[in-house]
């Protein structure tokens, strides 16, 4: 029988509910349990695919091509349970499905209502994940308790325990215990109110995870336990980690969370094997190299816009015991201040994916700087397309070469719309999405990094390299080291004469884990370390 954990959040948003849920999943998985993670998002958009990164941060893409919430990135980095389209539902999808059923006449003339029809639909997407191969489903409810739009989800998870038996469900509520400077103390009242609201809906949380910047005293924990109607041992502190997010699972274990969950749900499993994670933290604390990488993007000021890229850089850093300072550089700023001023001093440059014209010329400038100075360069998706534009203009001498995404009338459309995209008018879910095969040429940087001739990587794009320029580019020293198996779509480009210049049409950042850094990120970081030590040697001489 599959058991269920529901994670809700209270008091404020941005408490790190995704990270905490992923950490809970990770520790339970390390105890030998087979888990599946799921996120239910209360917004009405069908998926985050059409939302601005300012609204929602990165759009995380799965193998099956679904465009999902960035919390699924935490799930995949921390756990190994399979994630699919069924791992992320929004209010929009729930309603869409109910309305389609109504149109097909499936409700037999009944009035279609939030309760029971919407709540039934929500319960069915949770139940879908329960099967013989799954010990535990962890469902995170997006938003904050008290939001109007969360209500149907909370009602559904309340009912769920009645359907499958209370003993098979566990409710974790993540809350904030703020420190008030003026009073010089931690305040438990917001937590009491938040739990009060949950109880009004009919949910009594089993466990409270309390986010706080200071340690919570035993007295305060007792107070929370008493007012929120949970035993003292179920008030778990989760203090801010100023060092690394990878400390979170270990601190939850230290505070007894996994033990409590296992006992409450009667799960049969061993004790957690955290050796790999402890090793990671040890490496982080004892770096042998210190390097810096500039990430040049349109949304550089926004931390969540390139979340998986930053994480993947960290993973590769850990693999080489390197502490990496990441400079988040807004590409538009390069247009105003110049690449030299903003990029000199970095050991490598990464240009991530993106959409829209703003800041494109800054990215092209950054890539030129990396190419001309022999600085390791890693381009991802739009970053690859910009590398092609830069090479076209400055090496192949194709004046004003561009992507037709930004200039429809350019004389040299070196990047153009994929054939399959020509008749598409809808914006949502219509890009070339998800896992696709790539064939990798022998003796290329990509082959060296992957140590493989075939790989599968995730995609999310509408534009591609224009094949009519292939020969011209090759004659000038660009290699097309990765293509679709039929050779038609360019997937990886490299500059032959450069120490490490690799750009890819896909998104390797969606397949990197702290315990298994992505080969291309490793290749890039290794090249940055080499560049750094060369530079240091030159300075000494
Ligand atoms: N805008 C480009 C395209 O649609 C790149 C997409 C991306 O970087 N994800 O092809």
3-state secondary structure labels for all residues of 215-241: CCCHHHHHHHHHHHCCCHHHEEEEECC
Phi, psi of 320 (to 5 degrees): -110, 15
Pick the catalytic residue from 228, 381, 386, 416: 381
| C-beta of 406 in contact with ligand 1 (< 6 A) | no
Distance of CA 449 from the midpoint of ligand 1 (Å): 24
Spatial distance between the Cα atoms of 238 and 261, rounded to a whole number of angstroms: 16
Can 102 be counted among the known catalytic residues?
no
The finding on whether 405 has its CB within 6 A of some atom of ligand 1 is yes
Q: Does the active-site annotation cover 173?
A: no
CA angle (520 as vertex; 345, 486 as ends), nearest 5 = 130
> Is 382 close to ligand 1, i.e. is its CB under 6 Å away?
yes
What is the number of other CB atoms lying within 10 angstroms of the CB of residue 537?
Answer: 9
Distance 384 CA to ligand 1 centre (A): 9
365 carries an active-site annotation: no
pTM of the full structure: 0.94
Q: If you take atom 5 of ligand 1, which residue's CA is the nearest one?
A: 382
Atom of ligand 1 nearest to the CA of 381: 8
Return the C-alpha torsion angle 247, 248, 249, 251, nearest 10.
80
pLDDT of 541 reads 52
**Which residue minimizes the CA distance to atom 3 of ligand 1?**
461
Q: Is the CB of 101 under 6 A from ligand 1?
A: no
Query: How many Cα neighbours within 13 Å face the side chain of 25?
Result: 33
Closest C-alpha to ligand 1, atom 8: 353
Nearest-atom index, ligand 1, CA of 431 = 4
311 lines ligand 1 (CB under 6 A): no
Distance 296 CA to ligand 1 centre (A): 15
Q: Closest by alpha carbon to 390, among 473, 498, 459?
A: 473
> How buried is 267 (Cβ within 10 angstroms: 0-12 exposed, 13-18 middle, 19+ buried)?
middle
Nearest CA to ligand 1 atom 1: 355
pLDDT at 539: 65
CB of 465 closer than 6 angstroms to any ligand 1 atom: no
Q: What is the mean pLDDT of each run of 10 residues along the chain (541 residues)?
A: 96 88 96 97 92 87 96 96 95 97 94 97 98 97 94 98 96 95 92 95 96 94 95 93 85 94 95 91 92 94 90 96 96 95 96 94 97 97 98 97 95 91 84 95 96 97 95 97 96 96 98 96 98 80 52
Atom of ligand 1 nearest to the CA of 463: 10
pLDDT of residue 52: 85
Q: Which of 50, 308, 382 to mutate to test the pocket of ligand 1 (most atoms within 8 A of CB)?
A: 382
Cis peptide before 116 (omega within 30 of 0): yes
Contact 48, 92 (CB under 8 A): no
- What is the spatial distance between Cα 348 and Cα 364, in angstroms, rounded to a whole number? 15
């Amino acid at each position: 029988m599959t058991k269920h954990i529901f994670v809700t959040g209270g008091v404020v948003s941005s408490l790190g509910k995704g990270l905490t849920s992923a950490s809970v999943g990770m520790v339970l998985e390390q105890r030998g349990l087979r888990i599946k993670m799921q996120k239910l998002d209360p917004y009405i958009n069908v998926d985050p695919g059409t939302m601005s990164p300012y609204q929602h941060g990165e759009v995380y893409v799965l193998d099956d091509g679904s465009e999902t919430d960035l919390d699924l990135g935490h799930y995949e980095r921390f756990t190994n349970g399979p994630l699919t389209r069924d791992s992320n539902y929004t209010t929009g999808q729930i309603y869409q499905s109910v309305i389609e059923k109504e149109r097909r006449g499936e409700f037999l003339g009944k009035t279609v209502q939030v309760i029971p029809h919407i709540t039934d639909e929500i319960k069915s997407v949770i139940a879908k994940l329960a099967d013989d191969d799954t010990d535990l489903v962890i469902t995170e409810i997006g938003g904050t308790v008290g939001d109007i739009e969360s209500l149907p989800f909370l009602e559904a998870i309340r009912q769920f325990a009645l359907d499958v038996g209370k003993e098979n469900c566990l409710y974790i509520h993540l809350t904030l215990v703020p420190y008030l400077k003026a009073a010089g103390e931690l305040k438990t009242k917001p937590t009491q109110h938040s739990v009060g609201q949950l109880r009004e809906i009919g949910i009594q949380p089993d466990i409270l995870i309390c986010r706080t910047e200071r340690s919570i005293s035993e007295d305060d924990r007792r107070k929370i336990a008493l007012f929120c109607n949970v035993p003292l041992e179920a008030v778990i502190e989760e203090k801010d980690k100023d060092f690394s997010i990878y400390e979170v699972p270990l601190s939850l274990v230290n505070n007894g969370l996994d033990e409590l969950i296992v006992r409450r749900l009667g799960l049969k499993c061993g004790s957690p094997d955290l050796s790999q994670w402890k090793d990671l933290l040890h490496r982080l604390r004892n770096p042998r190299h210190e390097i810096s990488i500039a990430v040049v993007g349109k949304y550089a000021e926004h931390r969540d816009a390139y979340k998986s890229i930053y994480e993947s850089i960290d993973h590769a850093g850990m693999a080489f015991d390197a502490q990496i300072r990441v400079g988040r550089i807004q590409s538009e700023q390069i247009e105003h201040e110049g690449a030299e001023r903003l990029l000199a001093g970095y050991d490598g440059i990464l240009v991530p994916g993106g959409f829209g014209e703003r800041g494109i010329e800054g990215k092209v400038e950054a890539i030129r700087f990396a190419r001309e100075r022999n600085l390791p360069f890693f381009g991802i998706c739009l970053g690859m397309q910009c590398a092609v534009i830069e090479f076209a203009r400055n090496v192949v001498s194709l004046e004003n070469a561009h992507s037709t995404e930004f200039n429809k009338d350019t004389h040299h459309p070196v990047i153009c719309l994929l054939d399959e995209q020509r008749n598409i008018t809808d914006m949502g879910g219509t890009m070339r999405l998800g896992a696709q095969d790539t064939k990798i040429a022998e003796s290329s940087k990509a082959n060296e990094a992957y140590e493989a001739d075939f790989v599968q990587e995730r995609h999310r794009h509408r534009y591609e390299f224009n094949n009519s320029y292939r020969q011209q580019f090759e004659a000038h020293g660009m290699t097309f080291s990765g293509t679709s198996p039929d050779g038609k779509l360019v997937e990886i480009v490299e500059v032959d004469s450069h120490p490490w210049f690799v750009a890819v049409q896909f998104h390797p950042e969606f397949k990197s884990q702290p315990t298994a850094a992505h080969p291309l990120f490793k290749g890039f970081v290794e090249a940055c370390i080499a560049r750094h030590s060369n530079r240091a040697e030159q300075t000494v001489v």
